[in-house]
Structure 1
Amino acid sequence: MSPWRFVVGFGVVSLLADIVYEGARAVTGPYLASLGASAVLVGVITGAGEAFALAGRLVSGPLTDRTRAYWPLAFGGYTLTVASVPLLGFATGLWSAGVLVIAERAGKAVRSPAKDVLLSHAAGAVGRGRGFAMHEALDQIGALAGPLVVAGILLLSAGDYRPAFFALAIPGVAVLVVLVRLWARVPNPAAYELTVPLTEIGTVPTRLPSQFWTYLAFAAATTTGFAGFGLLAFHLATRELVPVAVVPVVYAAAMVVDALAALLTGWCYDRIGARILLVVPLLSALIPPLAFQDNAIPAVIGALLWGAVLGVQESTLRATVADLVPARRRGTAYGVFAAGAGLAAFAGSALLGLLYARSLTAVVSVTAAVQLIALLVFATSRLRLGTSSRRV
Structure 2
Amino acid sequence: MPNNKVRNKAFTFLLLMGIVSLLADMTYESARSLIGPYLLFLGASASVLGFVFGLGEFIGYTFRLVFGFVVDKTKNYWLFTILGYSINLIAIPLLAIVPPNGWIWAAILIICERFGKAVRAPAKTTLVSFAAKRVGTGKGFGFVEVLDQIGAMLGPLFLFFIMQWKESAGTHAQYQWAFASLAVPAVLTLIVLFIARAIFPKAEKFELTDKKTNITSQKLKFKEIKPILLYIIAIGLLAMGMADFPLMAFHIETNKVIDVKYITLIYMIVMGVDGLSAFIFGNLYDKKGAMTLLISAIIGLLFAPLVFVSTNLTSIVIGLILWGVLLGAMESVALAYIADNVEVAYRGRILGIYYTFYGITWFVGSWLMGILYNVNPVYVAIFSIVILLSAIIVLWRQIKINKQ
Q: TM-score, normalised by structure 1?
A: 0.84
- Pairing partner for 1:81 from 84, 88, 91: 88
**How far, CA to CA, are the matches of 1:359 and 1:38 in structure 2?**
20
1:218 Cα deviation from its structure 2 partner: 1.2
With over 3 angstroms needed to count, the CA separation of the structure-2 counterparts of 1:201 and 1:59, relative to structure 1, is closer
Match of 1:217 in 2: 233
1:248 Cα deviation from its structure 2 partner: 3.8
Match of 2:44 in 1: 39
Match of 2:318 in 1: 301
**186-195 or 199-208, larger mean C-alpha shift:** 199-208
Match of 1:267 in 2: 283
1:210 Cα deviation from its structure 2 partner: 0.6
- Pairing partner for 1:129 from 138, 145, 149: 138
* Structure 1 segment 103-182 matched on structure 2, within 5 A: 103-157=112-166, 158=169, 159=173, 163-182=177-196
Give structure 2 stretches of 5+ with no counterpart. Answer: 1-7
- Pairing partner for 2:29 from 22, 25, 30: 22
* Structure 1 segment 270-285 matched on structure 2, within 5 A: 270-285=286-301
Answer whether contact 2:67 2:352 (CA < 8 A) is retained. Answer: yes
**How far, CA to CA, are the matches of 1:62 and 1:135 in structure 2?**
24
**How far, CA to CA, are the matches of 2:378 and 2:116 in structure 1?**
40
**How far, CA to CA, are the matches of 2:306 and 2:395 in structure 1?**
25
SS in 2 for 1:200: coil
Q: Percent identity?
A: 37
SS in 1 for 2:201: coil
* Structure 1 segment 1-392 matched on structure 2, within 5 A: 2-28=9-35, 38-39=43-44, 43=49, 48-88=55-95, 99-157=108-166, 158=169, 159=173, 163-208=177-222, 209-233=225-249, 246-292=262-308, 294=310, 296-352=313-369, 366-382=383-399
With over 3 angstroms needed to count, the CA separation of the structure-2 counterparts of 1:184 and 1:384, relative to structure 1, is farther
With over 3 angstroms needed to count, the CA separation of the structure-2 counterparts of 1:350 and 1:88, relative to structure 1, is closer
SS in 2 for 1:39: coil
1:112 Cα deviation from its structure 2 partner: 0.7
**How far, CA to CA, are the matches of 1:88 and 1:297 in structure 2?**
31
Q: Once superposed, what is the RMSD of the aligned Cα atoms?
A: 3.3
With over 3 angstroms needed to count, the CA separation of the structure-2 counterparts of 1:256 and 1:23, relative to structure 1, is closer
With over 3 angstroms needed to count, the CA separation of the structure-2 counterparts of 1:301 and 1:164, relative to structure 1, is closer
1:246 Cα deviation from its structure 2 partner: 4.7
With over 3 angstroms needed to count, the CA separation of the structure-2 counterparts of 1:288 and 1:68, relative to structure 1, is same
1:321 Cα deviation from its structure 2 partner: 1.4
Answer whether contact 2:302 2:319 (CA < 8 A) is retained. Answer: yes
Answer whether contact 1:255 1:307 (CA < 8 A) is retained. Answer: yes
1:343 Cα deviation from its structure 2 partner: 2.2
Answer whether contact 2:37 2:249 (CA < 8 A) is retained. Answer: no
1:342 Cα deviation from its structure 2 partner: 2.7
**How far, CA to CA, are the matches of 2:249 and 2:91 in structure 1?**
28
**How many residues in Structure 1 have an aligned counterpart in Structure 2?**
384
Match of 1:390 in 2: none
**How far, CA to CA, are the matches of 1:192 and 1:140 in structure 2?**
25
Whichever residue aligns with residue 252 of structure 1, its letter is M
Answer whether contact 1:29 1:42 (CA < 8 A) is retained. Answer: no
Answer whether contact 1:226 1:284 (CA < 8 A) is retained. Answer: no
